[in-house]
């Protein structure tokens, strides 16, 4: 960090930094016959200072100097730290590949963990970090660098950052077993548009259907400028094309559980030996085989990030009025609606609805937009 960017900041911390304000067994002690009333505190005052304070002065950068997904860029002694990339996070421990090529198991500095933020975790897979090595295989993460290319979603009202610092997202769906969910693809596309990450759509398991049946949906996405790869991890169809698209890129692989994300990566680079499993026979849904996001270096160059499968994907920090702007096919019609605040759901003289009625806009895509606008699940 440059010296001219260093400044003192008042940073907010989580409420659970303070100790209990009241003795838990106070009532029980008063009920005892031999309780000494004069020995008990008869009133309690709470001050905004000391242990109950939620703010603390730190030295670092924020605002224009920091990325929005990293609330404070802490100032640390860089001469005592190594830089590296987080490969995976397992509870309180993170596996970090240092620039020296070694793998370190790192804990996270308490100051980072207790900063008040909307995020579920202070450190995520893909983060570029500064860490202090305490042994040839262990260390402490001191600082998380600003992030770019962030894939995230909403989880219980908080931001769940799945992976950071990627160039593209490979959205994997399956032609069958489990059933193709175009609405889920649309949500990943909106997230990619918002994060300025290049999307690539791959429909796996085409050996289970007639490939001609997939041409309509592939055509809809292709007309919008999205590349669609029809592939099969079993027969090898599309694997060479997929391998070329991943060459030298930082790619996160995302999609529904059971669509074959790990199987595709194993086919792209034999030897990865990523764990795979079969779908559940009764429900024809996938199992959660991959349990945490993990960066995997490719021998041909670049990284892929294998992520846990999802069944629903709720967007983070996207309000209803912004959704149409992230739909490439809706955008050309938005400015032609009669009302400038048209929601494209119920208004009259709506250019978007007219385009659907005339067949110029895919009806299924419009339905996907309405579900997102109304906050319905995929």
Domain annotation covers residue 47: no
Domain with 137 in it: 1-19+52-147
Q: Which has the closest alpha carbon to 189: 286, 352, 330, 335?
A: 330
First to last CA, the chain: 42
Q: What's the domain count of the chain?
A: 3
Domain annotation covers residue 70: yes
Q: Where residue 199 sits, what CATH number does that domain have?
A: 3.40.50.300
Q: Answer yes or no: do 7 and 135 share one domain.
A: yes
pLDDT tens, residue order, the chain (378 aa):
444 456 665 656 666 544 555 555 656 665 665 555 555 555 555 555 444 446 666 665 654 444 556 666 777 888 899 999 999 999 889 999 999 999 999 999 888 887 767 787 889 999 999 999 999 999 999 999 999 999 999 988 888 899 999 999 999 999 998 999 999 999 999 999 999 999 999 999 999 999 899 999 999 999 999 999 999 999 999 999 999 999 999 999 999 988 999 999 999 998 888 877 655 444 445 455 667 889 999 988 899 998 888 878 899 989 999 999 999 999 999 999 999 999 999 999 999 999 999 999 999 999 999 999 998 887
* Helices and strands, counts by H and E, the chain: 9, 16
**Assigned token pair, 279:** 């779908």
Q: Answer yes or no: do 4 and 139 share one domain.
A: yes
Distance CA 26, CA 161 (A): 42
Q: pTM score > 0.75 for this model?
A: yes
Domain annotation covers residue 32: no
Q: Answer yes or no: do 71 and 187 share one domain.
A: no
Q: What is the pLDDT of residues 269-328, one digit of tens each?
A: 988 888 776 554 444 454 556 678 899 999 888 999 988 888 788 999 899 999 999 999
Bridge partner list, 31 = none
End residue of a domain, out of 147, 168, 195:
147
Q: Answer yes or no: do 156 and 302 share one domain.
A: yes
Q: Answer yes or no: do 324 and 301 share one domain.
A: no
Q: Answer yes or no: do 56 and 160 share one domain.
A: no
Give the list of residues 6+ apart from residue 88 with CB closer than 8 angstroms, or none. 94, 95, 125, 292, 293, 294, 295
Contacts made by residues 64-71, CB under 8 angstroms, sequence distance 24+: 65/5, 66/146, 67/146, 67/147, 67/148, 69/119, 69/147, 69/150, 69/152, 69/159, 69/161, 69/164, 70/144, 70/145, 70/146, 70/147, 71/11, 71/115, 71/116, 71/117
End residue of a domain, out of 97, 121, 147:
147
Q: Answer yes or no: do 101 and 164 share one domain.
A: no
Reduced to 3 states, what is the DSSP secondary structure of residue 132?
strand
Q: Where residue 354 sits, what CATH number does that domain have?
A: 1.10.40.50
End residue of a domain, out of 306, 335, 356:
306
Q: Answer yes or no: do 172 and 276 share one domain.
A: yes
Q: What is the pLDDT of residues 36-79, one digit of tens each?
A: 555 555 555 555 544 444 666 666 565 444 455 666 677 788 88
């Amino acid at each position: 960090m440059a010296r001219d960017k260093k400044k003192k900041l008042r940073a907010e911390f989580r409420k659970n930094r303070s100790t209990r304000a009241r003795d838990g067994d106070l009532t029980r002690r008063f009920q005892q016959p031999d309780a000494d009333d004069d020995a008990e505190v008869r009133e309690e005052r709470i001050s905004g200072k000391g242990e109950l304070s939620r703010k603390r002065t730190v030295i670092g950068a924020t605002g224009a100097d920091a990325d929005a997904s990293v609330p404070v860029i802490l100032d640390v002694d860089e001469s005592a730290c190594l830089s590296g990339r987080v490969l995976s996070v397992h509870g309180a421990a993170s596996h970090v590949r240092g620039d020296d090529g070694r793998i370190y198991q790192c804990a996270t500095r308490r100051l980072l963990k207790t900063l008040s933020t909307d995020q579920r975790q202070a450190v995520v897979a893909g983060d570029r970090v500064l860490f202090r090595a305490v042994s040839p295989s262990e260390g402490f993460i001191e600082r998380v660098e600003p992030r770019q290319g962030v894939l995230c979603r909403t989880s219980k009202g908080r931001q769940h950052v799945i992976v950071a610092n990627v160039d593209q997202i490979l959205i994997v769906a399956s032609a069958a077993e489990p059933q193709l969910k175009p609405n889920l693809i649309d949500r990943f596309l909106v997230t990619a548009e918002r994060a300025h990450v290049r999307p690539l759509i791959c429909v796996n398991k085409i050996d289970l259907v007639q490939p001609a049946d997939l041409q309509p949906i592939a055509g809809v996405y292709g007309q919008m400028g999205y590349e669609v790869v029809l592939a099969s991890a079993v027969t090898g169809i599309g694997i060479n094309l997929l391998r070329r698209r991943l060459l030298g890129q930082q790619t996160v692989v995302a999609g529904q559980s059971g669509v074959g994300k790990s199987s595709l990566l194993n086919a792209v680079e034999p030897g990865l030996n990523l764990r795979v499993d079969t779908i559940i026979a009764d429900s024809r849904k996938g199992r959660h085989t991959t349990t945490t996001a993990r960066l995997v270096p490719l021998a041909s160059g670049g990284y892929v990030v294998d992520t846990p499968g999802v069944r629903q994907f709720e967007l983070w920090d996207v309000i209803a009025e912004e959704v149409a702007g992230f739909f490439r096919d809706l955008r050309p019609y938005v400015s032609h609606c009669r009302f400038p605040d048209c929601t494209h759901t119920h208004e009259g003289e709506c250019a978007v609805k007219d385009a659907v009625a005339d067949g110029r806009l895919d009806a299924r895509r419009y339905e996907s937009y309405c579900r997102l606008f109304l906050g319905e699940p995929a």
